[in-house]
């Protein structure tokens, strides 16, 4: 009986010791002050998160959280559900579509990088008409 109690006490102490508060920084694709507010509020709303600070310039969120209660992945899922790519989790298109126009980081990226190129195909056709 004593041994059992000792074992239980040891396990309890071990699990308490595991409840650590750590910091972790990961990428979140926000675009303006409103994004920052939404991202931080959502992250802080997760149980186990003690602090969340979004750096718009660095595109990164610094999370302070209790490892026993939550994980960066959980928080990333919640942020992605708002429309912001977070860590390795991509925001679903329908969530992204609900973002305010000023927050649409994907379209802006497309224009800057000329990668998806839909814009180029149109409008250049009139050169032929000149001949």
Residues in contact with Cu ion by CB under 5 A are 31-32, 34-35, 103
CA dist., res. 63 & res. 75, Å (int) = 9
Tokens linked to 85? 């790519």
Minimum CB distance to Cu ion smaller for 35 or for 89? 35
- Nearest approach, Cβ of 36 to Cu ion (angstroms)? 8
Query: Do the Cβ atoms of 65 and 48 come closer than 8 Å?
Result: yes
Tell me the residue nearest to Cu ion as measured from the CB. 103
49-55: which pairs have CB atoms within 8 A and are 24 or more residues apart? 49/75, 50/21, 54/28, 54/30
- When the beta carbons of 27 and 64 are compared against Cu ion, the nearer one is 27
Nearer to Cu ion by Cβ, of 69 and 106: the residue is 106
Q: Measured from the CB of residue 30, what is the shortest distance to Cu ion in angstroms?
A: 6
Shortest reach from residue 123's CB to Cu ion, in Å: 29
Pick the closer one to Cu ion by CB: 89 or 103.
Answer: 103
- Beta strand ranges found along the chain (DSSP E): 21-27, 49-55, 60-66
């Amino acid at each position: 009986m004593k041994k059992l109690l000792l074992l239980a006490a040891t396990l309890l102490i071990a699990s308490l010791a595991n409840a650590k508060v750590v910091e972790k920084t990961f990428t979140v694709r926000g675009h303006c002050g409103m994004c920052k507010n939404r991202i931080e509020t959502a992250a802080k709303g997760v149980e186990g998160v003690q602090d969340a600070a979004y750096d718009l310039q660095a595109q990164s969120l610094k999370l302070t959280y209790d490892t026993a209660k939550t994980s960066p992945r959980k928080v990333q899922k919640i942020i992605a559900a708002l429309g912001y790519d977070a860590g390795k989790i991509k925001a679903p298109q329908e969530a992204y579509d609900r973002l305010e126009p000023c927050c649409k980081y994907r379209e802006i990226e497309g224009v800057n990088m000329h990668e998806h190129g839909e814009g180029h195909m149109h409008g250049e056709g009139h050169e032929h008409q000149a001949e």
